[in-house]
Structure 1
Amino acid sequence: MTAYAIAHLRRPETVHPEVFEYMERIQATLDPYSGRFVVHGGTVDVREGSWPGDVVMIRFPDMGRARAWYDSPAYQEILPKRADHLVGDVILVEGVGPDHDPARKAAAMRTALGMDG
């Protein structure tokens, strides 16, 4: 099942030069794990709540490769170049398959919570 690395990064007043180095080097850390950018700081159209910052989303073939990339020595080597200079949140999350049915998921959740009637 496809997995994603998603980052919500806050915009700094000034960008530290190490952030540019991180950006220049990240793709080489993704390539061995088939990671590809899906979103990289595009325009955010906030419809509910607030979203101060940028979105980055990277697609992986599966959660195993997403975790292996994040934990890899190559990524861990460059990670401080971003993390030391940008405030943000980063998650790894599994996607859904082509047969995903939100109504079926709601029914399963109701049953699990004892709320099915």
Structure 2
Amino acid sequence: MTCYAIGHLRTVEMGPEIVAYLKGIDATLAPFDGRFIIHGGGKHHFEGTFAGDLIIIEFPDLRQAQGWYASPAYRAILPLRTENAEGEVFLIEGVGTDHKATDILSSAP
């Protein structure tokens, strides 16, 4: 099942460290078949507010996503981001192409 690395970065101090992180991240994704599907971009609000930037990286599955985050190559550049940006980062698994909204009811308490 497809897995996504989600980043909601509320603040980013643009500087040499973030530039180095951006220049290095693509090479860390390649061995795990990761690819950006959202990386900032314009927001068109319908409801509420959303401060910061949204980043979504797609991986073929949870194992690949976990492997990327734990990889020595990514760990080497990670401090460039964590020391210059604030926000949340997590992995979340996607749903199949046949998923319906009511499918979540079978796991509800």
TM-score range, shorter chain: over 0.9
Partner of 2:38, secondary structure, is: strand
Shift of 1:50: 2.3
Deviations 1:11-51 (A, max 9, x none): 34x51210000000000000000000000111122333321
Shift of 1:102: 1.4
Q: What one-letter code is carried by the residue in structure 2 that aligns with 1:87?
A: E
Shift of 1:101: 1.6
RMSD across aligned C-alpha pairs, in angstroms?
1.3
Shift of 1:5: 0.4
The answer to whether the aligner puts 1:43 opposite 2:42 as a matched pair is yes
Q: What one-letter code is carried by the residue in structure 2 that aligns with 1:67?
A: Q
Partner of 2:85, secondary structure, is: coil
Residue 62 of structure 2 corresponds to 63
Instruction: Judging by fraction of residues, say which structure has more strand.
Output: 2
Which deviates more from structure 2 when the two are superposed, residues 95-104 or residues 20-29? 95-104
Q: TM-score, normalised by structure 2?
A: 0.93
Query: Where in structure 2 are there 5+ consecutive unaligned residues?
Result: none
- Which consecutive aligned stretches of 4+ in structure 1 deviate over 3 angstroms post-superposition? none
Residue 2 of structure 1 corresponds to 2
1:1-117 equivalences in 2 (<5 Å): 1-12=1-12, 14-106=13-105, 108-110=106-108, 113=109
Between Structure 1 and Structure 2, whose CA radius of gyration is higher? Answer: 1
Give the share of equivalent positions with the same residue, in percent. 46
Kept after mapping to 1: 8 A contact 2:11/2:87? no
Deviations 1:55-98 (A, max 9, x none): 11000000000000000010000000011000111010000001
Quick one: distance in 2 between partners of 1:51 and 1:76? Answer: 28
